[in-house]
Amino acid sequence: MKKILVFCVLLLTGAALAASPVAMDYKDGIYHFVLSGDKVKKQVQFISSPTLITNQEAHNKAGAILTINAGFFDPNNQKSVSYIVNDNQTAEDPIFNENITGNPILRQNMQKILNRTEFRVLDCDSKLKYEIAPHNSNIDFLCTIKTSAQGGPQLLPNLRLEEEFFIVKDKEGNVVRESASVLHKTPRTLVGIKNLEGGEQEMHIFIVTNEHPMDIYEARELCASYGLDSAMAFDGGSSTSLNYKDISVVSTEENGTGRALKSFMVVKKK
C-alpha cells in the first residue's frame, strides 16, 4: 500500500514539475496567454533580426515555445523604430534610423518617439521582474535591463497617445495626425503585467486577430477587464503575429507566410 502511495505522489509531483508556465485561452478571435512563475522570466527574450523575417522564421531559429511580434520598424530601410535590448546590450537604437532623423515632422517629435513605452525584464540583484515604463524612466537601484522591447502606446495605468506621438491634435482638439492606426479597428498585439501577492507577477499577452479587431481604447478596456496593473501595445495591424505549438497566426498573408518583421518576443525552451 505504501509503495502505491509513494508512486502516486511521484506521479503527481512529476506532473506538477512538467506543468507548462504558459497557459492559453482563446475566445471570440482573441488569444490570451498567461506566463506564470519566476522560472519563465529566464526564458523570455526580445530579439531582432539584421534583415526582416517572419514570425515563424524567428520562432524556428530561436527554438521557442512562444513567439510574438514586438517593436515598430521601417519596412523601407529595414531598421527599427523601437529600442530593443538583448542580454543587457542595446541591439536596436532608433536614433540611427535615418528615416526618422531625416523626416522634419518626426525629427521635431523625436523625444516623444524615443520615449515610447517598453516592456522590460529587469535583473534586480539576481531576481528577475517585469516592468512596463517609458524608455527614459529610471530603473530601481541594483536593477539592470536584461532584455526589453519598445512599442507603445502605454495603455495602463494611463493611456499615452499624445505623449508618445501616436496622435496629434490641433488647437481645437481635433486629431490631425494618427500613427499605428490607434483610432481604427485592427488586429493588435498587447502585453501586460498583473502584480500578485508576495511580489509574484504574471505576464499577460493578447493577440487580437482579424476576427475581433479593436481600436486602442477597446484594447485598453480588454487589458483593464483582466485586472492588469500595467499594459502596452506592440506593433499591430498587419504585423500582429503568433506562433505557439501548432498555432500560427498572421494578420496579413505575404507569400502565404505573413509579414516580414524586425523584432520579436520569444519564450525559449529551458
Tens of pLDDT, residues 139-165: 999 999 999 999 999 999 999 999 999
Q: Do the beta carbons of residue 249 and residue 188 sit within 8 Å?
A: no
- Is there a domain that residue 13 lies in? no
**This prediction's pTM:** 0.92
The full length of the chain comes to: 270
Contacts of residue 199, defined as CB under 8 A and 6 or more positions apart, other chains included, come to none
Gap between the Cα atoms of 107 and 121, Å rounded: 29
- Is there a domain that residue 191 lies in? yes
Q: Do the beta carbons of residue 130 and residue 196 sit within 8 Å?
A: no
H/E stretch holding 237 reads none
- Is there a domain that residue 127 lies in? yes
Gap between the Cα atoms of 91 and 85, Å rounded: 5
H/E stretch holding 54 reads none
- Is there a domain that residue 95 lies in? yes
Gap between the Cα atoms of 214 and 122, Å rounded: 30
Which 3 state secondary structure label does DSSP give 101? helix
- Alpha-helical runs (H) found in 52-181: 55-62, 98-101, 104-108, 110-114
Q: For position 253, what pLDDT does the model report?
A: 72
- Is there a domain that residue 227 lies in? yes
- Is there a domain that residue 14 lies in? no
C-alpha cell at 73: 520598424
What residue ranges of the chain have pLDDT lower than 70?
Answer: 1-19, 255-256
pLDDT tens across 200-215, in order? Answer: 999 999 999 999 999 9
**Burial group, residue 257, by CB count within 10 angstroms (0-12, 13-18, 19+):** middle
- Is there a domain that residue 128 lies in? yes
For residue 234, the one-letter residue type is: F
Q: For position 255, what pLDDT does the model report?
A: 66
Q: For position 18, what pLDDT does the model report?
A: 54
| Number of domain units in the chain | 1
Q: What's the angle, vertex CA 209, arms to CA 253 and CA 163, rounded to 5?
A: 105
> 3-state DSSP: the chain helix, strand, coil percent, rounded to 5?
25, 40, 35
Contacts of residue 207, defined as CB under 8 A and 6 or more positions apart, other chains included, come to 30, 31, 33, 68, 187, 188, 189, 240, 242, 249
Taking Cα atoms as reference points, which of 19, 68, 107 lies closest to residue 187?
68
User: What domain range includes position 123?
Assistant: 20-251+259-268
- Is there a domain that residue 37 lies in? yes
Q: Do the beta carbons of residue 259 and residue 238 sit within 8 Å?
A: yes
